[in-house]
Chains A and B, each alone.
Chain A
């Protein structure tokens, strides 16, 4: 997905302006120096504004040679669109559901869904998922003591701790 500099430049410049405005809203210290939390971000905002304008200028000069938006070959291929959607959806589902369902169930769900989408082989995907989830659970939860959420499996916490 290639967006023309003619669009990206103004977006970055606008973001720079937003940063500058947000910087001016920062309180200044009462004692000592006059340099508050907005001093340094003010420079960054100015930099982004200038760089964005320069990018827009380069985009304007090459406006005849490139279109405003070029989608890659994947955008016309349903399989590749579904691939990308599966990865992003898997991460969002994990964020939303892992607290309730726990790592074992949500982790297995998202890994299986992605494997199935990528390989189209359900049995192999299931086998790989089971091994992967158990290995990750053992390394992180039992060896490194990361408190991965148990969720609905909390009543079985005793059986599920292997240390």
Chain B
């Protein structure tokens, strides 16, 4: 904990603060434009962070993602279109209150509970991550292998749509990760003789393709009519907020706990946290009738949950190097690009940097109050930005961003291919996040697998010989078998 002081100082450096401020404004803008997701904000930011120092880069990503998740509530409240998927759970509830003339109160609730959720999640991160890291220092390749397996498996199974399609998406990501030099023999693998592929498929162009170009394509063919303009006049969103929220403190607390817990789970991101906490608030509310007619309770709970999960998703990402969702997968990619390997040793090797990153959550969530207030005030103008003008400009940014990674057009080619693949996958119900996780973690999984196989001399039983590895292995295999068990159970119920 003695590194908190130096970490705070490094976070207060002018370049870091400027990066945080600009990234926050960018995140607020992208989050509040419907159709642009928080993941897209992060994907577009990565090429710029490539040129920054590690702390400034990650702090910028942290701020942009936290702000975008909150800003998704603004169009949800005013237009009934969630700005990001994480706001979808309570968009209807929020818009119902807006129609009753309570837009200010709803937006104030979203802003304050988002900041609160994010802050508490950040505290859990600051105090929880090092403790877990101390335990994690004792783990060997076997445990690592099972943790990565468990993370990837839950990512594939929890993702929306059928688990089978999640698994296929994951396997495709893992396969793409095998392209490039095979480190053991030093021979190129699946490169088709192309020198550009020897270093593997570039991660950043791939994710710009999957999350930005695919979105542009989806917009290009979208036959939905343009969103209506907002007419709501927004005054002081903080007025009368505390008396309005005080009765729901228990629900907000539940939201924070659910969000923090969901964030730690690999594969479950902010949107799932919001859905679960909204459903819980609905189930345990003391005023069910009021809840359905329009109440702040569910909004406050889910609004706190999605931002809490953004903070706590960094626990598995930094301690084990296993991302919880697509956004932390991108962060892990950025850490690797900066020559840093996430894992328990990062706390001893780079303590100032890690605590700097953690403290940037506190900074970002505190900044959210004034900046978010500004974004709400300006929302009439932001929501009126025409997407038909925005999309071509984003395309230009994508092109240059993909090119800037290694200054070759290969990046743009990779981006285009992944854009089309990402679009096709989403159209056919294949979630994209597992593919990204597979792409980021594929190398690590193969490495730990081969190391474990060599130590075990090919005896698969050794994978279960250590207590933690054995437990994690059994859990992973149970998760793998769960669809079969469910099928058998359904069939027995059907016939019996």
Residues of A at the B interface (CB closer than 8 Å) are: 1-3, 8, 12, 19, 22, 26-27, 29, 32-37, 39-41, 44-45, 47-48, 51-52, 54-55, 58, 72-74, 77, 80-81, 83-84, 86-88, 90-92, 94-95, 98-99, 103, 107, 110-111, 114-115, 118-119, 124, 128, 132-133, 136, 139-140, 144-148
Contact = CB atoms under 8 A, between A and B. Distances in A.
A44 B171 contact: yes
Contact of B400 (A54, A81, A136): A136
Given A84-B217, A86-B220, A94 B393 contact: no
A103 B391 CA distance: 19
Contacts of A72: 221, 223, 427
Contact of A144 (B389, B393, B404): B404
B275 interface: no
B446 interface: yes
A52 B430 CA distance: 13
Interface of B: 48, 51, 162, 164-165, 167-168, 171-172, 174-175, 178, 182, 184-185, 187, 189-190, 213, 216-217, 220-223, 386, 388-389, 391-393, 395-397, 399-400, 403-404, 407, 409, 412-413, 415-416, 419-420, 424, 427-428, 445-446, 449-450, 453-454, 458
Given A80-B221, A91-B399, A136-B400, A8 B428 contact: yes
Contacts of A45: 175
B454 A115 contact: no
B393 to A, nearest CB: 5
Contacts of A44: 171, 174-175, 178
Nearest to A144: B51
Contact of A115 (B164, B171, B174, B392): B392
A12 B421 CA distance: 14
B175 A111 contact: no
The DSSP consensus for interface residues of chain B is helix
B309 to A, nearest CB: 29
6 contacts: A2-B427, A39-B453, A48-B168, A51-B171, A118-B389, A128-B393
Nearest to A133: B396
Given A40-B446, A91-B399, A2 B174 contact: no
B389 A115 contact: yes
Contact of B403 (A22, A40, A48, A146): A146
Contacts of B458: 34
A51 B164 contact: yes
A114 B395 contact: yes
Given A91-B399, A119-B386, A147-B407, A48 B223 contact: no
A22 B191 CA distance: 11
A73 B223 contact: yes
B158 to A, nearest CB: 17
A11 B171 CA distance: 14
Give the residue among A12, A19, A94 with the most B Cβ atoms within 10 A: A94
Contacts of A95: 409, 412-413, 416
B174 to A, nearest CB: 5
A32 B238 CA distance: 67
A27 B450 CA distance: 15
Contact of A55 (B168, B391, B450): B168
B175 A41 contact: yes
A51 B175 contact: no
A54 B167 CA distance: 11
Contacts of A103: 400
B395 A29 contact: no
Contact of B171 (A47, A54, A91, A144): A47
A33 B449 CA distance: 13
B178 A40 contact: yes
A12 B175 CA distance: 12
B416 A91 contact: yes
B450 A35 contact: yes
A83 B220 contact: yes
A87 B395 CA distance: 8
Contact of A87 (B171, B220, B389): B220
B407 A146 contact: yes
B434 to A, nearest CB: 12
A35 B453 contact: yes
Contacts of B391: 114, 118
A33 B447 CA distance: 13
Given A26-B182, A37-B182, A95-B416, A87 B216 contact: yes
B168 A32 contact: no
B450 A48 contact: no
A94 B395 CA distance: 11
A92 B103 CA distance: 45
B392 A55 contact: no
A88 B220 CA distance: 10
B1 to A, nearest CB: 36
B254 to A, nearest CB: 37
B175 A19 contact: yes
B184 A36 contact: yes
Contacts of B404: 140, 144, 146
Give the residue among A34, A39, A44, A132 with the most B Cβ atoms within 10 A: A44
Contact of A80 (B51, B220, B449): B220
A92 B220 contact: no
Contacts of B175: 19, 41, 44-45, 48
B174 A33 contact: no
Contacts of A33: 450, 453-454
